[in-house]
Structure 1
């Protein structure tokens, strides 16, 4: 299973997983109410810049920050250009910016928090639902895998695009097929790893 977690001693690594998960959820909730105005676009851009600074302040380094933004470049270009055409420039900036900010936050979470820590927190939060027949550990596993897949799929997008550029293929719908294949292969590998541990 691919994991972006990197051990470290920075303040982000020392912050409890529950706190980081709560901040991610709160940020996603808050961004959903941001209006599509020019002022909001500046605010969202500032939020993305602040989150980027956390990569440096948290001890992850400039390389990790550069990799995160490099993976996002095609998302920004394609989504941004599409939204400009259909909803206008202010809405495109806000919608693209908040998605970028959330993906960066998700990468910060996955780089500084082990999967076992995430699963423990989510399972604890879902423990009251056990009375309703919900398996907290199984749900925690699914949610933690979903969070860790966000930057992983971003990496797949980068690799597919680089392969297409090497072959002289223009950016377009053809990118979807190899991206889907890579994602499904990764899903199979994760499934095999879980089955080997008796978690299928």
Structure 2
């Protein structure tokens, strides 16, 4: 999510994170509840495309988002074609794609800090029943920031193996990657403990 944010001046970028998340959630739910027909799938595709264009992100960003989830769509479509008619399979896959792309609008147009602040504010009313809003926001922040770190660690392991001339296999990659990942987790845990987080 850290690498997805794209600075911009469109109305989606200017919208407050909390209300924007709520509206996009409603849109995602509405798209998923559409019937499994090609007409409904066309409506979902139209709403998604309009959201990207009106939101100021444009065709290029929309295209990149579609390409980034291509394997999800291929697997979803392939699995459904085994059990359902082609029309229903295509309609369902289009609805799934639309839901993913609409959800992606949130991270494309919202800074992580703003999103975390909105989560913390949204959870404050639940503190009466024992929910620690700050801790949930902290866990979410750590999770979000860890994803790009793990991607970078994986790339580092691959580069080190190539530099040594090691044939990269699954087992040969997984063990060094787990070692560096666990080392990172230990360092992160020590840093949080040093700051009084338990």
User: TM-score band (shorter)?
Assistant: 0.5 to 0.7
The 2-side partners of 1:30 and 1:4 are apart by 24
Query: Does the Cα contact within 8 Å between 1:118 and 1:144 map onto a contact in 2?
Result: no
8 Å Cα contact 1:119/1:137 also seen in 2? no
* CA displacement, residues 62-93 of structure 1 (integer Å, 9 cap, x when unaligned): 44233212112222222112212212223322
TM-score normalised to the size of structure 1?
Answer: 0.67
CA distance in 1, matches of 2:27, 2:20: 10
Structure 1 gap segments, 5+ residues each: 157-174
Query: How many residues align structurally?
Result: 175
Identify the residue that residue 116 of structure 2 maps to in structure 1: 119
For 2:50 and 2:95, how far apart are their aligned partners in 1? 12
Q: What stretches of structure 2 of length at least 5 have no aligned partner?
A: 152-169
| Equivalence for 2:12 | 12
Distance 1:104 1:188 in 2: 34
Residue 94, structure 1, aligned to residue 91, structure 2: yes
From the superposition, tell whether residues 105 and 62 of structure 1 become closer, same or farther in structure 2 (CA, over 3 Å). Answer: same
Q: What residue number does 1:27 align with?
A: 27
Counterpart Cα distance in 2 of 1:14 and 1:41: 29
Q: 1:10 to 1:50 in 2, by over 3 A?
A: closer
| Largest Rg, 1 or 2 | 2
**Which position in structure 1 is the counterpart of 2:41?**
41
> Superposed, which structure 2 residues align to 1:128-143 within 5 Å?
128-142=125-139
1:189, 1:107 → 2: CA distance?
A: 28
Residue 36 of structure 1: SS of its match in structure 2? coil
Closer/same/farther in 2, CA of residues 65 and 39 from structure 1, 3 Å limit: closer
- Report how far residue 15 of structure 1 moved: 0.9
Q: TM-score, normalised to structure 2's length?
A: 0.67
What's the Cα RMSD here?
4.0
